[in-house]
Amino acid sequence: MSRMRVLSYILLALGIFLLASAGYDEFRGVTHKPADLLRRRHASYSGYLYRIPIVRDNSPGLFQAAIKTHWIYLAVVLVAGVILFPIDNRPNGP
């Protein structure tokens, strides 16, 4: 099995896990703020030591934005896994 195929399987498994996690969060109505992948942390004190839950009943707009971000992240991971699946980096030989 090629490295790309293994990486594809890992990304697909991660995407399915993220899909189940986001679906469960949406079902129960509680999620957490998704990680901000684009913002760089300049100071070590800027990260939280714990995750703050977002409840659908208390703040529906923030909950919807967080769930939407979870869905976008999992879609990117799944699409990357699907794109890498057919790539075979083994040499063509008998």
3-state SS of the chain is CCHHHHHHHHHHHHHHHHHHHHHHHHHHCEEECCCCCCCCCCCHHHCCCCCCEEECCCCHHHHHHHHHHHHHHHHHHHHHHHHHCCCCCCCCCC
Can you give the pLDDT at residue 3? 83
Q: Are strands 30-32 and 53-55 parallel, antiparallel or unpaired?
A: antiparallel
Asked if residues 70 and 18 have their Cβ atoms less than 8 Å apart, the reply is: yes
The residues near 4 (Cβ < 8 Å, ≥ 6 apart) are 84, 85, 87, 88, 89
pLDDT computed for residue 94 by the predictor: 56
Each residue's pLDDT tens digit, 41-85 = 554 555 555 677 889 999 899 999 989 988 999 999 999 999 988
Q: What is the pTM of this model?
A: 0.74
Q: Between 9 and 89, where is the model more confident? A: 9
For residue 86, pLDDT beyond 60? yes
Give domain limits for the chain.
8-35+51-94
Residue 40 banded pLDDT, cuts 50, 70, 90: low
Q: Give the pLDDT score at 28.
A: 92
Averaged confidence pLDDT in the chain: 81
